[in-house]
Amino acid sequence: MSDTAIFDELAQLAARRIGLHIPDNAHDRFVGTLRERAAHLDYFSLQDYRTFLFGQQANGEWEELARAFTTGETFFFRDHGQFDLLRLRLLPELIAQHRHDKTLRLWSAGCASGEEVYSLAMMVDMLLPEWSGWNILILGTDIDSAAIAKARRGRYGKWSFRMVPPDLQQRNFHLEGNEWVLDERIRRRVTLRVSNLLGESFPDSASELHDMDLILCRNVFIYFEPAATFAVAAKFTETLREGGYLLVAHTELIGHPVRELESRLFAEGVVYQRHVQVPAPIPSIRCMQVREPSSISPQEWGKARAQAWTGVTTPSLVRSAGDALNTPPVALVRAAPSAPTAEMMFKEARAYADRGEFDLAEQTCHKILSATPLATAPYFLLAQLAQIKGDFNQAKECLNKAIYLDQNFVAAYLELATLCERAEDIPRAQTLRRAALGIVRTRPSDEVIEQYETTAGELAQWLAQWEREPIENHPKKPQS
């Protein structure tokens, strides 16, 4: 069997075993990764490595391949819009429904290093501070055992808190050296384990995976083949109780209709609810409602944004595509001849940032720019670092430079739009979003926009709601 045939066969096997989709523009990366892994395991031929992957002892190796092709980037309360929706609407509704039986079952599927599932636990703690007498399951699973091990340690650097209000951080963590340690009060309420969503059988009454009230599975389906997306979404549906909710990243299930799931549109995004056979009255939950920005004046929109999710009246960064826009790009330096060296240095800068060594990260970015002045990714990371320091003017300057160097840098447009919103410059924010929308509409619809872990087509659909079009073309109003 030729090497090309082996690569094609292993791509198909990856889709069956872990649901992994290898897009055309990632083919060379996939081939390189397979060669590296084969050499790392001391296989002398790709044929031998192929035989190993088809065997029963290869689960750990499939985990390595999944880790190589997915982004573990995450942070606490990622996408404030969706967490607004959880805090103001979904969780209060579920708690009200369970006042009599005092049970609540929540699952973060694809929780990476734990930030999402612990964010969920902190939110439940805020809404239901007296857990006594309640039977609450908050489950976090991921295919990556190393990520689950990190989650169990419950120790995080400053980079994981870039969107967390200081009072919430101080309430649930204490500082030890350069790390923030999660309080045992929150950690003991979360169950963590390794799980392959495609390979594991669920619902399963013998495990925790049954009768869920809420499943969060965000930024996971973007890596899946369509067949795997449908299969896992169908299993999620069966694992939800009637009326339970599935929350995915924006647009991830567009084009993947699943029986028994009904979509509910809110200002913060779409939520999927398992069909209720016998409709039951929904408890009246008082919550803030926000109309689409395209249908209200900038002044009204600014007032609506003033109520932050923490309940403190401060300007809120309302995002069109969620806080994924704040994720530093894994797309590497867009530069010319010296790209390999610049790429290595940029990875080093990102590693410094991940460890909370922000000064070293900044210094490395400046070294890259000294050697490769046309690189854009360092400017984007510098903008992120400036925001950590609270220097929003410096962040804007870096993003403007990135756009000047690369007029198709979608993430820079959208990040700059959120900063303009913070400064109450709504018209400028809308202009930047429309520019980003125009760019993604020129890209192949299946091209992955890695900063958002979504495709150009899906991002275009999401951003379209912010474009000024005739009112009949706007998305439906959120449900009351």
Residue 343 contacts by C-beta under 8 Å, 6 or more apart in sequence?
332, 333
Does the domain made of 298-473 have the CATH classification 3.40.1190.20?
A: no
* C-beta separation of 219 from 251 below 8 A: no
- In the block, tokens 């979404």 appear at 233
Residue with tokens 């008082």: 286
- Among 287, 330, 284, 342, smallest CA distance to 453 is for 330
Q: Which residues pair with 70 in a beta bridge?
A: none
The whole-model pTM stands at: 0.56
At the fourth CATH level, which superfamily is domain 80-274? Vaccinia Virus protein VP39 (3.40.50.150)
3-state secondary structure of 260: coil
pLDDT single digits (tens) 423-464: 778 888 888 888 888 888 888 887 877 655 567 777 777 677
Evaluated on CA atoms 314, 317, 322, 327, the torsion sign reads: negative
Q: Are 297 and 350 in contact (CB under 8 A)?
A: no
Please give the pLDDT value at position 261: 87
- Whether omega before 226 lies within 30 degrees of 0, making that bond cis, reads no
Taking alpha carbons only, the member of 227, 199, 182, 249 closest to residue 59 is 199
Q: State residue 451's pLDDT score.
A: 59
Q: Which of 314, 285, 286 is nearest to 302 (CA)?
A: 314
Task: Determine contact, residues 180/71, Cβ cutoff 8 Å.
Answer: no
The partner residues of 182 in beta bridges, in order of sequence, read 173
* Structural domain spans, the chain: 3-68, 80-274, 298-473
Give one word for 192, left, alpha or beta, with left for phi > 0 and alpha for psi -120 to 50.
Answer: beta
* Helix pair 392-405, 377-388: axis angle to 10 deg: 170
* Per-residue exposure over 147-183, b if at least 16 CB sit within 10 Å of its own CB, e if not: bbebbeebbbebbbbbbbbeebbeebbeeeeebbbbe
Distance CA 445, CA 18 (A): 23
**SS3 assignment, position 8:** helix
Give the Cα-Cα-Cα angle 245, 159, 165 (nearest 5 degrees).
65
Q: Given this model, what pLDDT does residue 317 score?
A: 27
Q: Which residues of the chain have pLDDT under 70?
A: 1, 70-73, 251, 254-257, 267-268, 277-340, 354, 450-454, 462, 465-480
Reduced to 3 states (helix: H, G, I; strand: E, B; else coil), residue 241 is strand
Nearest to 83, CA basis, from 143, 165, 189, 159: 165
The whole-angstrom separation of Cα 218 and Cα 223 is 11
Helix (H) or strand (E) holding 428, with range, is helix 426-440
Per-residue pLDDT tens digits for 376-387: 999 998 988 887
Tell me which amino acid residue 266 is. Answer: F
| CA 281 and chain centroid, separation | 32
